[in-house]
Each structure stands twice: as C-alpha cells, then as structure tokens.
Chains A and B, each alone.
Chain A
Amino acid sequence: MTTSTVTAPASAGKPAAPDPARLRRRRGIAQWGFVAPAVVFMLLFFGYPLVRNVVMSFQHYTPKTFFTGEAPFNGGDNWADVFQDALFGKALWHTLVFTAGSLLGQFCIGLALAVFFNRRFPLNGVLRSLILLPWLVPMVVSGIVWRRILDQDTGVLNSFLDTIGLGGHTPWLTSPGMALFSVVLVNIWIGIPFNMVILYGGLQEIPRELYEAASLDGASAWRTFRSITLPMLKPVVTVVLVLGFMSTVKILDLILALTDGGPADSTQTLGTLTYQNSFVQLDFGAGAVVGNVLILISAVFAVFYLRANRTEGK
C-alpha cells in the first residue's frame, strides 16, 4: 500500500497522491455510499409495492388471503375479467376525457393568467396570492363544497343562473351526460393555480431585452407571444403538462367526493374503479389489474418526459 505511493511519486506532481485507479475506486465506494440510502428507499417504497402490485394482479387475492396468507396464482383470470367488464372500457374513456379536458382547461387559463400577471400593475401580488387559494384547500373539501354549489335545485350556481335569467335547471352532477363535464370543470378550477405559478415562474426567466427588441421591430402582441414567449417557455410547459398529467390521470378523491362515480357510472375513472374493486368488492386481484394499467399509462408519459428533458439538456 505504502510502497506504491512511494514508487510512483511523479504521478501527478503530488507526493502523497495514490494511483488514479485506487482513487477512482475509493471515490466509487464513497459515491455508492451516498447513493445507497436513496436506492434502498426507492426499492423498498417504490420498487416493492410496484412488483407486489404486478404479482397481485395474477393472484386470487381475497379477504381469506389476509388470514391464510395464501393467494393462489390464477394466470390471467383477473386481467380477462377486468377487460371483459364493460365498465373498464368506460372508465378508461372517462379517464382520458377527464385528463385531456382538465389539462387543456388548466393550462390555457393558467397560461393566460400567468401572462396577465407578468405585467406590472397595482395589487398584482395580492391578486396572485388569492388565486392560489384553490390549491391550498384540501381536495375533499373542494369536492364537498362544489357538490353543494352544483346541486340542481338548491345549488348556488343554478340559483345564480336563474337570477340572471339563464335557465338555472342545469343537472350539473345528476345527468350522466353532464356529470363528467362538471367534474372536469371543478378539476380545472383546482388546477389553475399550479399551472399559473409554474408558468409565471417561467415567464419571469425570459429576458426582458427580447421583448424590447421585439417591440423595436414592431412585432404585434400575438407575434411576440408566439415567437418569444412560447418557445422560451417550452421547457416549463413540458414540466407543467407532464406533472399535471400524472396527478390528473390517477384522480380519485375529487370524484369520490363529487359523484362517487355516478350517476350511472358516468364518472367512473380508472382510479375509482381500482378503489371499487379493491375496497368495496374486496377483490384485490382485480383492483391490482386496473392499478397496473394506470401505472403503465403514467410510465409511458414519464418516458416522454425524460426524453423531452434529455433533448433540452443537449
């Protein structure tokens, strides 16, 4: 050990330095030491449940399992059952509509507000913090309050529409054709602050000189927005959309509080279906199948996200 350092004194001009290979190895161990807790944590709290969920989807996992510990493998029975259930197709479609609708609404309104607040005007700060409120209210509370607001007969919204002479008998949550739309509306309301805050942060990063240059060149407001704001905002837009997607696609609490999946299953999503299978029917295998489908969908988008990030890194 000591001999090597002595025999290679000229290696880097530093007399006590060990040889590069050893240095690298030592550094490697140290690096692993730092990474290890994170790896262990991930394996334990993300890897294990994930694998468990996949395994469970191939098992006949019922209340009996909790006593005997036995969950016999039943091949693809759970998968076949779930895919044959007409409700699964419906729930998948509702999930897609819900996610696309929510993201579109949240993003457009969030971006508009972010651009609006990017100017300087009195009370800007106060108004901006007020808009954050929906984000601070727990999802279940928003859900319950909105359920009252949207009540067909006694809800505030219909009373208001009645007063201004716009009907006032809209069956927001009680018509199967309307309920999903209403749920999306509420979720847009909830998601606006998140979109606005992140996009506002992104806007602040764009150098003012660019806008000055654009105005010197006589660019219109729309042209400035399209040629400067949007391209410069692109990385932030990706983050907002991907994070928004992941939190929206797995929606459960809001729908349980608003409609409980009804009326007539018109607001069942993959999230509520998992819940129903696992915790109402206590058929944990079937619940795991739907859960896995959700994970798969999220994973696909996570890959897109990482791709997008990598191209930006270049």
Chain B
Amino acid sequence: MTAHPPAAARRGRSRRAVVPLAAVGVLLAGTALTGCGQQRDPDVYTVMNSSTDESYHRWDAEAMARCSKRLGVTVEQQSVPAAQVMTKALRMASSKSLPDIIQFDASEMPTFADAGGLVDLRSLGLSTDDVPKGIVNFGSYKGTYYGASRSVNTLALFYNKDILDEAGVKVPTTWDELRDAAKRLTQGKRYGIALSAGGAEDGVFQFAPFMWSNGGDETKLDSPEVAQALDYWKGLLKDGSLSKSTLNWTQADVNDQFMAGNAAMMINGPWQVETLNTDKSLHWEIARIPVPKAGEDSVGPLGGSVLTVPNTDDEQRERTAGKIVACLSSQKEQLTYALNSWMVPANAKAAAVWREKVPELDALADQVAAARSRTAKLGAGWSSVSLALQSAFQSALTGQSSEAALKLAQQRATSGNRG
C-alpha cells in the first residue's frame, strides 16, 4: 500500500494479467489439436471391441497376436463397455480418429453402416463362400456385406436335469408342455422357469423367439400372433411358474436365479455356459425353445458381434484391416474362439467340427441354423421398435391387455421422425 510501483513494474503487472490468459489459450489450442485427427502409427492397427471381461479380452489378445505374426503388423485391442461402442465410434468419426476395425454388436451395425461409416468387406477381398446365408445376412445391411462374424449365438431352453428327473418331467417341446412343466416344477421358493422381461434389449431378445415362432413380426406389433405370444408370457406369470421379478431381470440375473436353484428351467444363451460350469454340482442341459404347436419351427434371435472396417479414407490401411478381419474370422480362429466362448462358429465347416467337439450344445447349433437377425427387416429402425416393444410387454405383464399395449407400441414405433 505504501510505495507505488514504477512504470516498469506496472507494465509487469498487466503482463501478469496476460499470463493466465495466454496459458488458457495454449491449453485450448492443445486440446483442440489433440481432438482432431490422431497420427496413426503405420504398422500398428487398432481394433475397438467390447471385450472388457478378462477372459474375452485374453482370447481376443491371443487371436490378435497370432494374426499380427501372420500378417507382419501389430494389432492392438481397445475394449470399451458394450453400451458405449456406438457412441464412442460416432465421436471418433467426427474427430477423424476411427480405429481400423470395430467390433459391433450385430444389431448396432446397421446404424453405423447407414450413416456411411463402413467399408464393404467384399471389396476388401473377404469371401463368404463357407458362411451360411443367414449369417451373411446377419452381417449385411441393404445387401452389402459389412460385418464378418466369428461366432454367433442364440437363445435356448436350459434345464436343471436333476430337478426334472426328480419330478419326472419330460423336457418340454411345445408351449403347452412348457407351461405344464413349469407349473409342475414350481415348488416352494423354486419357480418352474426364469426368463428376462426386463425393460432393455435383453427383454426384447428373449421375447423374440416366442413372437417369431408364433408367426409374429416386429414390423406389425399389433398383430394377433404377437399378442398371443405376449399372452403366453402372461399365462406363465398367472400360473405362478414365473417370478414377477422377471420384469427387473437382465439375462445375467436369470442365470443367477437358475444357478441358485430358484428356477428349474431358464431361457438363456451360451455366453452363460462358462459361469454355469463353475458350479460342478449343477447338472444342466439344453434344448430348443418350445414352439406353439408340435412340428413347428423354433425361430430364435441371432446374436453376436461382427467385425467391421470403418471408413477412414485411407485405402492402404483399410485393405490391411480387411486382411486382419479375414484372419480373425478364418475357419481356424473361429473354431478356437467358439470353443473358448461356447458360441457357435459362423463358418459352416468350423461349425461342423465344433458340433463334434461340443455335443452337449448340439441343440444350440440347430437353433442357430434356424435363427433370424433382429435387424434383417428394420435395419437402423430396430432401436425405436425395440423400445416400444419393451414398454408394451412390461405394461401387459403388469396388468394391461396385450392387444392394447401392443397397439400403442405399434403407434409409437411408427410415429415421429424416429428411425
């Protein structure tokens, strides 16, 4: 307060005020630069996937190491949670920093392809000769083959053999048998069957085999076939053979219930097998999902992920990325991956070998052969139909009539500028 600074110091002070400004400016420029276009390392290729589980991450790393060696490049994986793959890929697209390969859930692939984000795999030299038509379609959008699958999965009926034997219940094959078996297997705290009617994609995935096997279709949610399928679920609830908590269960929760002995049967997929096998005292087996009437086809939803090459405008790299995809989805790699993950190889020849090696999952291979992809008819429009359907079956299972709920769902799915 006492002495006033001379002119030089005064300038110094105003300079001091400038320093923070300049620092902020530098920081901004820095972030802006790192945001745009990362420099790609010429011999390092990145695969973005959702293998955040330790075992999946390890299997992928091993497969990538083998392909790196064969192709003379380095392949690295970057694993993000499954729900974030799409949004992260979109952000990377806008900042021109897409990885060389993205592994999408097959139901999400059409959205990215529709935005113009993917390269035609056939143009990169990938062959689909040994891949069954259904699985080629699974990785295609509007007739173009964008995604190579290594393995596919679907849903099946898992049952606890000991409980069924003890109760003298035969493995159900039709809806009536399933309802009857579930009723007879319900005892005390144990329910006959567990499935996921949760308000997310899990629930829709589980509803699909009932809807489709009955001749229903996602393009017409208000048809009597879909309503009958929903009424069938309502019947299981009404009988008390299915816990009301089904509304809040994911497929992983369903598996927990089955393993804890709270359910004698469950609808679930092969990705649970690794967990199921951790309990040596649990004797489970699988069968095809029962159909409305004997002799009808059991149509399950095809699940799994596909390897895609995003559009990076760098043809040289895209071609190499295509080779990496070809290597990762080669017959040999498919078999290794399928045996590790308990899923069915996409390649027909690999699948034949797999059937011999894993006879206990034979029913699953049959179910896969007849399975259908969720996005085959609606493509990128699937997500809004899926949301409408979730809301509909949850309303119906908690009291509303199936017809009314589905009618509303159909209106919601087709209204607005969605899709």
Contacts and interface: CB of A to CB of B under 8 A. Distances in A.
Interface of A: 1, 14, 16-18, 26, 29-30, 32-34, 36-37, 40-41, 44, 60, 62-69, 74, 77-78, 81, 84-85, 147, 151-154, 171, 173-176, 259-265, 276, 279-283, 286
A41 B24 contact: yes
B199 A81 contact: no
Q: For chain B, which range describes its interface: under 10, 10 to 19, 20 to 34, or 35 or more residues? A: 35 or more
A174 B116 contact: no
B33 interface: no
Interface stretch (B164-172, B223-231, B329-337, B383-391): B383-391
A155 to B, nearest CB: 8
A263 B398 contact: yes
A268 to B, nearest CB: 9
A152 B416 CA distance: 37
Contact of B248 (A14, A68, A263): A263
A241 B283 CA distance: 55
A26 B248 contact: no
24 contacts: A26-B10, A26-B14, A30-B17, A33-B17, A33-B18, A33-B20, A37-B24, A63-B112, A63-B114, A63-B117, A67-B117, A85-B412, A85-B416, A152-B243, A154-B257, A176-B394, A176-B399, A262-B394, A263-B248, A264-B391, A265-B199, A281-B384, A282-B86, A283-B418
A63 B13 contact: no
Contacts of A154: 245, 257, 260, 262
Contacts of A283: 417-418
B8 interface: no
Interface in B1-37: 3-4, 7, 10, 13-14, 16-18, 20-21, 23-24, 28
Q: Choose among A17, A74, A171, A276 the residue with the greatest number of B CB atoms under 10 Å from its CB.
A: A171
A60 B115 CA distance: 13
B228 to A, nearest CB: 20
Contact of A260 (B10, B86, B112, B199): B199
Given A32-B17, A33-B16, A262-B390, A174 B115 contact: no
A286 B387 CA distance: 15
A279 B83 CA distance: 9
B348 interface: no
Contacts of A29: 14, 17
B4 A261 contact: no
B406 to A, nearest CB: 13
Given A66-B115, A151-B248, A262-B390, A30 B383 contact: no
Interface string B379-403: 0000110010011001101111000
Given A32-B17, A67-B93, A280-B383, 4 more contacts: A1-B7, A65-B94, A262-B248, A262-B394
Contacts of A44: 28
A34 B17 contact: yes
Contacts of B311: 67
Given A81-B416, A263-B398, A281-B383, A63 B115 contact: yes
A29 B416 CA distance: 53
Nearest to B399: A176
B245 to A, nearest CB: 5
Contacts of A153: 189, 191, 243-245, 262
A64 B398 CA distance: 38
